[in-house]
Amino acid sequence: IKSTYNEFVKVWDGIALIAEPDETSGEPNYGENKRKDLWHTGVQIVLGCSVMMLCFLFYWQNVSNSVGTKLLFLLNIVGIYIGHLLAKKQLDFNSRYADKLCSLFSKSDCNNVLDSKAARLWGLISWSEIGLGYFISNMLILLITPQYVVYVVLLNLCTVPYVFWSIWFQKVKVKQWCPLCLLVQALFIGMLIVDVVCGYIFIPVIRLNEIVYVAAIYAIPFLCIHLAMSAFSDFNKERGAKYELESLKMQEEVFVTLLKKQAKYPVSKSTSQIIFGNPNADLLISVFSNPHCEPCGRMHKRLRELQKKLEDKACIQYIFSSFGEDLDQSNKFLISAYQNNTIENSEEIYDLWFNGGKYNTTDFFNKYQYDINAPAVEQEFRTHEEWKKETKLMATPTILINGYELPDVYKIEDLIFFKDLRIEM
């Protein structure tokens, strides 16, 4: 949006937003994200350069020294690059080079042209797909069967009406220019000039087998591109729908409404004394867990990460179950570990248990030598068992938020967005 100083002053309400950095400012995991970005960029550059070098070497070693065919080859290489930029714009992929080219003129907007109805043939096939497939097929013929260059010339002649139509459509109908589209038209004209100057325009002897061969070369790249772009387009739509759903989910009113439609269980901070985090927090996250359950082990890791992000805004409460009486001693061990250690040491022991200690219980128990039959341990164990019988809960892990079962559409990681929310117990 551009505005003169005087126009801006007239509409400005005198309020300005000034952002200032502090010690917590910055992109999370910036270093890792930067390395990934550099890696992906490097891979694309190396791959693109490698393909181009192979094409050039193959062409120069296997094709005649005709200046005309070499010029056509170079023009089609440029056409492939421009076509790929157009395809990225069509799919709403980020491209700095495409954006720079599309902003060359004051009345230029590639998106308006590419999003118009006329940008698709019969409303199904985009001109960017056709153009990219056309340039790739031209290059394949020049690389593999240069003796069929006459068919490239004939098809290039057929593009002349399209050149005039495209320019007319942008000027008269859309009233905006697409610089990338204009570059494609310039390439068509450039190839036509090469055809005329080099004497490639003549009526050839048409053979059925040649027509079938050339038709296949033009059809296969185009169909592959069409299917790929359709798949990418569907993926983008699904991703957009997912973002919209995520945005809706993160509204507090939606979260509370869905949460209160879930089953509610009698939970309070006295239900289990095994509590990590801030015991005075309003947000109580109760996890019904089994010490020998694999999903429970993975859930423990996720809860530990969540606890770091929630800081003092929540407390995480463990209520234990088991697969059978022969495994009840594991529940008692974890209860005893909590009762006989500081919170920090208890967290460390729980981490070691869920990270692999549960697979060798004898060694793990012998390492710490807790009295798992102590009255306090037995009392806490019975409290967990009575709660399990009362609620009839069986599935582990089950996550409860102030007594309400966490809806399936939410992950525990989403709770970071609701850490200041007050939910009645």
- Rounded Cα distance, 403 and 268, in Å: 8
Q: Which amino acid is at 405?
A: E
**pLDDT value for 361:** 86
Q: How confident is the model at residue 261 (pLDDT cuts 50, 70, 90)?
A: very high
- For range 6-11, the mean pLDDT: 83
Q: How confident is the model at residue 245 (pLDDT cuts 50, 70, 90)?
A: confident
Q: What is the mean pLDDT of the chain?
A: 84
Spell out the SS3 assignment of 13-63. Answer: CCCCCCCCCCCCCCCCCHHHHHHHHHHHHHHHHHHHHHHHHHHHHHHHHHC
Find, among 318, 323, 301, 334, the residue nearest to 384 by Cα.
Answer: 318
On the CB side of 21, how many CA atoms lie within 13 Å of its CA?
Answer: 5
Calculate the CA 158 to chain-centre distance.
40
- Rounded Cα distance, 223 and 136, in Å: 12
Tens digits of residue pLDDT in 59-96: 565 555 577 778 888 888 889 888 888 888 777 777 77
Q: How confident is the model at residue 211 (pLDDT cuts 50, 70, 90)?
A: confident
Tens digits of residue pLDDT in 107-140: 666 666 776 676 677 767 787 888 888 898 988 8
Angle among Cα 392, 398, 403 to the nearest 5 degrees reads 75
Calculate the alpha carbon distances from 323 to 18, 199, 292, 389 in Å.
58, 85, 8, 14
Angle among Cα 360, 366, 371 to the nearest 5 degrees reads 120
- Rounded Cα distance, 289 and 331, in Å: 10
Return the DSSP state at 315.
E
Tens digits of residue pLDDT in 16-33: 888 887 766 777 677 777
- For range 177-187, the mean pLDDT: 86
**pLDDT value for 107:** 63
Calculate the alpha carbon distances from 380 to 288, 338, 339, 346, 349 in Å.
14, 11, 10, 16, 18
Contact 312, 281 (CB under 8 A): yes
Residue 157 has pLDDT above 70, yes or no: yes
In order of start, what are the domains of the chain with their CATH numbers? 43-247 (1.20.1440.130), 263-418 (3.40.30.10)
Question: Residue 205 has which token pair?
Answer: 């002897």
Which residue matches tokens 């007594």? 403
Any bridge partners for residue 314, and if so which? 283
Residue 125 φ/ψ, nearest 5 degrees? -110, 125
